[in-house]
Structure 1
Amino acid sequence: MCGIVGFIGNKKDAKEVVLSGLTKLEYRGYDSAGISLFNSKFRSFDIYKDFGRVQKLIDLTKNTLKSNIGIGHTRWATHGKVTKENAHPHYSQSKRFIIVHNGVIENNEELKSQYLSDSFFYSETDTEVIAQLIETFTKQLNVENAILTTLKLLEGSYALLVIDTQTPDTIYAAKNKSPLVLGKGDDGITIASDLMALLGYADQYIALADHTFVVAESDSVKLYNLNHELQPLIYLEIDLDESSTDMGEYQHYMIKEIYEQPSVVRRIVQNYFNHDKINISADILKDIKASDRIYILAAGTSMHAGYVGKYLFEELTHIPAEVHIASEFAYHTPLLTAKPFFLMISQSGETADLRACLLKTQKLNYKTLTITNVKTSTLARESNYFLELFAGPEIAVASTKAYVAQVAVLSILCNTLSDQNIDLIKELTKVALSIENFLATQDISSLVHDKITKRNCFYIGRTIDYYTSLEAALKLKEISYIQTEGFAAGELKHGTIALIEEGTPVIALISSKEISKNTRSNLNEVISRGATTMIISLANTSQESDDIILKDVHPLLTPMVMVVPTQLIAYYAALERGNDIDKPRNLAKSVTVE
């Protein structure tokens, strides 16, 4: 859950490339940041680091000389507190080796005890163990073999960039579980934990596989496996648009991404429908139809989309579906049916908990499908099948457009497997129009100001609205820090109503006529106990006094529309409190640690 960037070249300044990349990747971790640059005047490497944001590095390095080589890092703390000492880069005892690392070394204490009992450590991190081991092994081995020997001892995950200060013309890199991409451009080699960091500096890339080792110079790259055997270099063209990562006219990435949702839905329609043909592999459909149960594995926002997916599968295909928290499934797998099919949902395609699930299901020879926003990601590459979200880069840590995209793609998949033949081109177009209409005509900032005033808040809904309430609650707690829970409306009276006090906000989601009276009755129960309430409804379920009324869409597609006002409620609640909306405390975007 860290951002790492390295550059080696002849023309461009490494500082410019690394700091630009770190700024683009800051959503991956922003507890602290650091950079190491070669100082040509003194023939040495300078290190600048501190807790806080990349802007500190920009300020610290204003007067540095142009450098041909550098590595940098933004941290999301796992080992050790958020301090300058624990910020990357780290170095070996003599400071010969400098290193940045994304991941977790699970056996770092054992390695310390076995190999480094006499070593002095500058930090509390697991990363420093790697640097110390490399230096220890160079007493008997050359640098490449010392690094390879170290890599074979590491248990856990790593994306590494290593510099040997004695050879300031080389960056060494290695990858296992944590993402790492290598980019090639006219001006040099860039290595980073995300493709976005390569934009503007590389036009081709390689998504590195696990257990690979790279030796990069300004004009050459060698790729090895851990047995030091050369591997082929197969580059792909970078097809990301750099403008898609800009904030444009918006104040925050989150609000930009909320407003992009209608175009995301339309892009999905364009990519999955070609007149009468649906662009989903026949093999995917065949394997799902042959299964007796769908197991949906995900985490966080993606898991909430998974709950909607369960609803869609069972309503449209009549195949039973279960949703499991990835981090639980990986280590406590339930009893499985005879012919399971596994569906994994991840915005980044790098979620470590899901990767653990994937490895487990692969050992059992079960078929897997990943739905992800990143076609170059580990899960996309390693699953049997994958479906792309086409949401474009999502920079804000709190996911919005990826959730809507996940539900849209799930609806297309389930409808394709169904015999109900819903005209999804028409119905998804109505979804895009409903979202667009709401965003263009309803300003809810004053509503949030008046009603979201307490330390606690509840969302309630029934059936498919309950699943939306879970995502709505997560969004509000993520960025406003208001303790928020989503509940099935009928469950309030079974305990939760004890938490209702004078002024407690309770927001009801009502998208179905069938349960409208029931949910409104539950709302009256909390009103009589002093709650401040808000109702979000569709036109066909609405009453005149409802706070937010959305244009109607197909009953199975309501989550894509109903969630949008809740995203804005979270946004305006956080804005009013002066919070860092795009980078909420303690969170990071791509969760690459278990």
Structure 2
Amino acid sequence: MCGIVGVAGRANAETVLIEGLRRLEYRGYDSAGLGVHCSDGRLRRARAPGKVSALETVMRPEVSGSTGIAHTRWATHGAPTEANAHPHQAGRVCLVHNGIIENYKSLRAELVACGRRFASETDTEVVAQLLDRELDGGADPKAALIATLGRLEGAFALAAIIEGEPGLVLGARRGAPLVAAVGDGASFLASDIMAITGEARSVIYLHEGDAVIVRPAGVEVLNAMGEVVDRPLVPAPASMAMAEKGNHRHFMQKEIYEQPEVVGRTLSAYVNAVSGRVRPREGVDFSKMTRLHIIGCGTASYAGQIAEYWFEGIAGLPVKVDIASEFRYRNPAFLEGDAALFISQSGETADTLEALRLCKAAGIVTIALVNSPHSSMAREADIVAPTLAGPEIGVASTKAFTCQLSALAALVVLAGAQRGRLSAEEQAGHIANLMAVPSLMAAALKVEQAIDRLASELAQASIVLYLGRNEFFPLALEGALKLKEISYIHAEGYAAGELKHGPIALIEDDVAVIVIAPHDALFAKTRSSIQEVRARGARVIAITDRPGADELDGETSAQLLLPRLTGMAAPIVSAVAVQLLAYYVAVHKGTDVDQPRNLAKSVTVE
């Protein structure tokens, strides 16, 4: 993930900023920069592609002061160049930003029409220009920030300094993490508390939609309506290990909450939002493929099964999904024009790696979809398709799974275009659907409290069944896997239409059945399955949307409401509820959420 650090009121703020960026290097990035409100009243920047060490080499003595912001960037809108590196400056404003501004194209066109000139290819510069325009119109910094935030759509965190406003840092978060903190005579902003551990004495974990005014003497927080609110000050973590979790109880919970940001980053690595197209990947030509094998283990395999529906339905490409441990031993038969895509978070999964080697030996084109660009699979595959989830500590995969789905969805659009199955307008429609995912995921996280209440009862269950149709069937399998991984409850996932072919025998009074039931084209079929299990005494929990909830009124024991979802965005966003449900059941059971028994994060032996 990209990193943000800000400081107000600290002598030689640039040293704090550089150290903060160093602590965030593990997240991955391709450029770095900082901006400082200098003692002569001017804003000065230093930016460089590459590592923080490269930034240090371009630092000049005059880039020094007591207030500043810094950033590590992973290129999304625009290549990793100095011009696209953060901070971006527009007039009096210097600004850094994580996430995606979904409506940046229309905002940019509006600003250009007003005579504003842009120096980068990024969506971030739009925010700096908007904020500067508000200031030019006479607004004070707080009013200018609130007005600017009201124009933005998407999931993001940002920090800004303003020329002529020494000792002031503005910040805001919507769907991406940001914390404020106070120390001895100074205050701070950061996307991760790790960046300011040791400097901060007390921390404010900002709520969704909060804006913040940071000054040396303290921090003022505004809610999404622009009203001043009190947010609790809590003691800052005393060690880096504690800081890694921030205000989250477990790494798994933190990683669930990181999804709007990392999914946005993954999508932006594949999509050219300006053109509404997926960027071609060297060596990938879906038009020449007769069949695509998708191979993985566990959660990665379920991501592949969801993508099977997409590749066949949208791109017209036949797909065969295999569990890696079975594929490598069943002596698979290949066709001319076959290609194979291997999914692994670590890129070191033993069975998947051996399956890749089997395909290479057979002369099959191999694609590795991995979260580790220097892994064995990335080195050995013909083509690498990265996911940009960042380090995932919790053994039960969460953000890696949704980043895999996001990358696969982008590849599906590319396949549809290359195979002549999608018009330019249809491609743009799919891209718009996917680029809305980060903000939809942020909205979906609001179901957390309802899930927490429900989980205390569900934790007493001895068996839980998950049902889904179409692409939600593999998501049902993933939900069951998550639950048994971390709560040790026996759980199974089924295609809802298969109930009558055996699984319905498991239904008896008080058996818990979780049904993923968005109000889509198959809703009526899914509703029939709900009625079947309910008639036999099951406690039905529906993961649905408002139209689905209205039709299911009185037919379920509980409903978990998600935003209205369509297209490939639907299973990606729905995964949030499935993950949170497993997480809170495990918490109520008191199991070791991050390191469940008998499991390892990366299975590197057979």
TMscore range, shorter length:
0.5 to 0.7
* Residues 244 and 342 of structure 1, relative CA distance in 2, 3 Å threshold: farther
CA contact (8 A) 2:507 2:536 kept: yes
2:314 counterpart residue number: 316
CA contact (8 A) 1:303 1:345 kept: yes
Instruction: Tell me, in whole angstroms, the C-alpha distance in 1 between the residues paired with 2:448 and 2:248.
Output: 18
Instruction: Tell me, in whole angstroms, the C-alpha distance in 2 between the residues paired with 1:570 and 1:368.
Output: 34
Task: Name the SS for the 1:555 alignment partner.
Answer: coil
Instruction: Tell me, in whole angstroms, the C-alpha distance in 1 between the residues paired with 2:582 and 2:281.
Output: 40
Instruction: Tell me, in whole angstroms, the C-alpha distance in 2 between the residues paired with 1:328 and 1:462.
Output: 25
2:437 counterpart residue number: 431
1:276 counterpart residue number: 275
Task: Name the SS for the 2:436 alignment partner.
Answer: helix
Instruction: Tell me, in whole angstroms, the C-alpha distance in 2 between the residues paired with 1:409 and 1:272.
Output: 7
Task: Name the SS for the 1:342 alignment partner.
Answer: strand
Matched, 1:499 2:511: no
Matched, 1:478 2:485: yes
2:533 counterpart residue number: 526
CA contact (8 A) 2:250 2:593 kept: yes
Task: Name the SS for the 1:534 alignment partner.
Answer: strand
Offset at 1:501?
Answer: 2.2
CA contact (8 A) 1:285 1:417 kept: no
Report Cα offsets for 1:281-309 as digits up to 9, x if no partner.
Answer: 544332x3211000001110000000011
Instruction: Tell me, in whole angstroms, the C-alpha distance in 2 between the residues paired with 1:516 and 1:417.
Output: 28
Instruction: Tell me, in whole angstroms, the C-alpha distance in 2 between the residues paired with 1:329 and 1:536.
Output: 33
CA contact (8 A) 1:244 1:392 kept: no
Instruction: Tell me, in whole angstroms, the C-alpha distance in 2 between the residues paired with 1:559 and 1:552.
Output: 12
Offset at 1:422?
Answer: 3.7
Task: Name the SS for the 1:542 alignment partner.
Answer: helix
Instruction: Tell me, in whole angstroms, the C-alpha distance in 1 between the residues paired with 2:381 and 2:440.
Output: 34
Q: Give matches, 1:133-144, under 5 Å.
A: none
Task: Name the SS for the 1:365 alignment partner.
Answer: coil
Letter matched to residue 322 of structure 1 = K
Matched, 1:458 2:465: yes
Instruction: Tell me, in whole angstroms, the C-alpha distance in 1 between the residues paired with 2:549 and 2:586.
Output: 28
Report Cα offsets for 1:17-71 as digits up to 9, x if no partner.
Answer: xxxxxxx9xxxxxxxxxxxxxxxxxxxxxxxxxxxxxxxxxxxxxxxxxxxxxxx
Offset at 1:454?
Answer: 1.3
Offset at 1:527?
Answer: 1.4
* Residues 277 and 523 of structure 1, relative CA distance in 2, 3 Å threshold: closer
- Scaled by the length of structure 2, the TM-score of the pair is 0.56
1:350 counterpart residue number: 348
Instruction: Tell me, in whole angstroms, the C-alpha distance in 2 between the residues paired with 1:375 and 1:277.
Output: 26
CA contact (8 A) 1:448 1:573 kept: yes
* Residues 279 and 488 of structure 1, relative CA distance in 2, 3 Å threshold: closer
CA contact (8 A) 2:284 2:383 kept: no
Worse-superposed segment, 288-297 or 514-523: 514-523
* Residues 245 and 560 of structure 1, relative CA distance in 2, 3 Å threshold: farther
* Residues 346 and 255 of structure 1, relative CA distance in 2, 3 Å threshold: same
* Residues 378 and 245 of structure 1, relative CA distance in 2, 3 Å threshold: farther
Matched, 1:563 2:572: no
Q: Count the aligned residue pairs.
A: 354
* Residues 484 and 422 of structure 1, relative CA distance in 2, 3 Å threshold: farther
1:412 counterpart residue number: 410
CA contact (8 A) 1:326 1:353 kept: yes
CA contact (8 A) 2:277 2:428 kept: no
Instruction: Tell me, in whole angstroms, the C-alpha distance in 1 between the residues paired with 2:295 and 2:406.
Output: 17
Q: Give matches, 1:149-160, under 5 Å.
A: none
Match of 2:260 among 259, 262, 266: 262
2:497 counterpart residue number: 490
Instruction: Tell me, in whole angstroms, the C-alpha distance in 2 between the residues paired with 1:266 and 1:348.
Output: 20
Report Cα offsets for 1:109-143 as digits up to 9, x if no partner.
Answer: xxxxxxxxxxxxxxxxxxxxxxxxxxxxxxxxxxx
Match of 1:299 among 274, 297, 300: 297
Offset at 1:279?
Answer: 6.8
Instruction: Tell me, in whole angstroms, the C-alpha distance in 2 between the residues paired with 1:245 and 1:282.
Output: 37
Instruction: Tell me, in whole angstroms, the C-alpha distance in 2 between the residues paired with 1:429 and 1:488.
Output: 29
Letter matched to residue 336 of structure 2 = A
Name structure 2 gaps, 5 residues minimum.
1-25, 27-239, 417-421
Give the share of equivalent positions with the same residue, in percent.
38
Matched, 1:398 2:434: no
Instruction: Tell me, in whole angstroms, the C-alpha distance in 1 between the residues paired with 2:246 and 2:265.
Output: 20
Offset at 1:553?
Answer: 2.7
Offset at 1:562?
Answer: 1.3
Task: Name the SS for the 1:547 alignment partner.
Answer: strand
CA contact (8 A) 1:415 1:422 kept: no
CA contact (8 A) 1:451 1:532 kept: no
* Residues 586 and 243 of structure 1, relative CA distance in 2, 3 Å threshold: closer
Offset at 1:493?
Answer: 1.6
1:384 counterpart residue number: 382
Letter matched to residue 388 of structure 2 = F
Instruction: Tell me, in whole angstroms, the C-alpha distance in 2 between the residues paired with 1:392 and 1:245.
Output: 17
Report Cα offsets for 1:511-561 as digits up to 9, x if no partner.
Answer: 243221221221121112211110001334332636112112332221111
Report Cα offsets for 1:202-228 as digits up to 9, x if no partner.
Answer: xxxxxxxxxxxxxxxxxxxxxxxxxxx
Worse-superposed segment, 442-451 or 376-385: 442-451
Instruction: Tell me, in whole angstroms, the C-alpha distance in 2 between the residues paired with 1:427 and 1:363.
Output: 38
Name structure 1 gaps, 5 residues minimum.
1-23, 25-241
